[in-house]
A and B are shown apart, each in its own frame.
Chain A
Amino acid sequence: MTKLGDMAKVLRSKNSGPFELTLDVLFDSREMYEHVKNSGSVTREAVSKAYGMTEERIHHFVFFDQALGFKVTMSRDISSGSAGDRDVYGAQQHAPLMQLEIHCPREV
């Protein structure tokens, strides 16, 4: 098992409008991208578990082959900059995703 944060070239979070948060994971080789995509470890279930939330909060979960990356967009529980928000730009919400364990058949 390897952590997603060690395999990705870019792993970031950002607002997508004030009511959604979007996570981008990008790779610098097609091989690594395909490996992660086909590992079976990156699922709506795994991501919602990493964030301690229900799967319904994930609005989009899409791989984009041309860009060697995938995107997960989820609802915010508090909109950007409202009382109680902890991250106005949503730029530091990616750490739980870095810890996601990716199944590596070659290491088994």
Chain B
Amino acid sequence: MSTDIRILSPCGMLGYGFPEKSFMNGMSQEPHGIVVDAGSTDGGPHKLGAGVSIVSKRAVKKDLGIMIPAGLSSGIPIIIGSAGGSGARTHVNWTLEIIDELLEEMNLQASITVIWADFSQQDIRQAREEGRIVSLSPNIPPLTEEAIAATNSIVAQMGHEPIVEALRGGADIIVCGRAYDPSPFAAIGIYHGKDPGLSYHLGKILECGALCAEPGTTKDSILGTIGDGYFTVQSLNPDRTCSETSVAAHTFYEKEHPYILHGPGFTLDLELCRFEESSPGVVRVSGSRYLPAETYRIKLEGARQTAYRTFVVAGIRDPILLGKLEAVQELVRSQAKDYYRDIPESDYEIRFYNYGMNGVLGSQEPEAFRGHEVGVMFEVVARTQELASSICATVRSTFLHYGYEGRKSTAGNLAFPFAPSDIEFGPVYAFSVYHLMESRPDVFTIEQR
């Protein structure tokens, strides 16, 4: 069979939005599937830990409100990868509720298949005891029993296998829990018998929407076509175009290596790829190689709550204080610590972020401060919210009135933009599981609703 397989990616993240015209241009090319990625760990551990989404329900509903009726009326599958952002049970259920609401409002019927990506603490504990878990990079500590016990939500990134299985089952809509971002795209190509290397490489490009075009954006649609021995990508908006370098350069994006990519059970080697413009704005890629791994491993992700935070934002304009700001902050810190000497130091941390000076780079900032104003954010992260707020209030009042050497502005050191000044942030999370687990492709549960 040498039928070309076309995949429409509406946008780089479900809920980011896309021009309906671009999407409809894609639909007019009769794609074999509509696939959208909804997930990322980029926004930090909070979404997975707290079970919330980074995009609004309103925005997801708006995007799906275009994709679902288009897919159903054309009889092609709609696949959502890493539903709800982190792809854990709560995130998948949140997405399913939105789909159900839409189908009812639009008076549409659809068969839905869900692929769950959750793993219990017991699953992970057993894998650890069997020596099936390894760290992903040298700076990630080995997984401990203590970390597993403290992590309520653990997911793993699925490969294409369970999604291909769901496609075989004939689902109209496939909602995936956490997936390796390119997997839902690769599943369409592989289901139709296309080369897995080309399918995954195309998936890696399509999962970001039109980011591989110029000007690049995640908020526009893109079309991928897999032939035999190559694939092509093209923009669906006349205001953007794909070029050899824009597509080749995209291979770099948010990966640790420019041409070696690791996915569930395989390595993708793109070193020998050729990128050619086959017709204006259409880039043809060949040479992507799929190398099955000797040991099938999947990536685990888990987030645990570590503390609570209270923070304050304030401005400083006094030139004398700015001249010795970091030294004064150390004195403020000491005074607050001394005041709370009854509390173990390990129960809390006080941090100052001096925006305008070195707020972004911290101690790695090479430039000397030359400004006349600094935005200060300071936080107290502590074992409980009450403790964080109490200590933060002391840091704030100490800093506000601190009588540093040479001070002339004896009425106060900080300009607060808001009253009250102290903001309770709530829980703080950390990625506590980010490891590879030796496993099998069929550990992801497929459920037909």
Contact = CB atoms under 8 A, between A and B. Distances in A.
Nearest to B45: A81
A26 B247 CA distance: 12
Given A79-B431, A81-B429, A86-B360, A14 B254 contact: yes
B44 A80 contact: yes
Given A17-B434, A28-B245, A66-B273, A59 B256 contact: yes
Contacts, number: 142
A80 B271 CA distance: 29
B251 A89 contact: no
Select the residue from A22, A51, A53, A70 with max chain B CB neighbours within 10 A: A22
Interface string B336-366: 0000000000000101010000011111101
A20 B349 CA distance: 24
B266 interface: no
Majority secondary structure of chain B interface residues (helix, strand, loop or mixed): loop
B41 A80 contact: yes
B255 interface: yes
Interface of B: 41-46, 136-140, 245, 248-249, 251-259, 271, 273-275, 306-307, 309, 349, 351, 353, 359-364, 366, 381, 428-431, 434
A1 interface: no
Given A52-B363, A67-B252, A82 B349 contact: no
Contact of B252 (A18, A26, A83, A85): A26
Interface residues of A, number: 46
A75 B139 CA distance: 7
Given A19-B136, A71-B252, A71-B257, 15 more contacts: A15-B42, A18-B41, A18-B434, A53-B364, A60-B257, A62-B258, A64-B252, A64-B258, A67-B258, A75-B138, A79-B45, A80-B45, A81-B43, A82-B45, A92-B360
Interface string A73-108: 101100111111111110011011001000000000
B281 to A, nearest CB: 18
A47 to B, nearest CB: 12
A80 B254 contact: no
Which of A16, A57, A93 gathers the greatest number of chain B CB atoms within 10 Å? A16
A68 B251 CA distance: 11
B363 A83 contact: no
A67 B253 contact: no
B256 A96 contact: no
B402 to A, nearest CB: 23
A17 B42 CA distance: 7
Interface of A: 10, 14-20, 22, 24, 26, 28, 50-53, 57, 59-60, 62, 64, 66-71, 73, 75-76, 79-89, 92-93, 95-96, 99
A76 B362 contact: no
A104 B271 CA distance: 28
A85 to B, nearest CB: 8
A8 to B, nearest CB: 11
Contact of A22 (B255, B362, B364): B255
Nearest to A26: B249
B133 to A, nearest CB: 15
B361 A86 contact: yes
A24 B251 CA distance: 11
5 contacts: A26-B249, A52-B364, A67-B258, A73-B257, A86-B362
Given A17-B41, A20-B137, A89-B43, A60 B256 contact: yes
Contacts of A82: 44-45, 306, 428-431
Contacts of A80: 41-42, 44-45, 431
Task: Report, nearest first, the 6 A-B pairs whose CB atoms are least far apart.
Answer: A81-B44, A75-B139, A64-B258, A67-B248, A82-B430, A16-B256
Contacts of B42: 14-15, 80, 88-89
Contacts of A84: 349, 351, 381
B225 to A, nearest CB: 20
Contacts of B249: 10, 24, 26, 67-69
Nearest to B307: A83
Contacts of B258: 62, 64, 67, 69-71
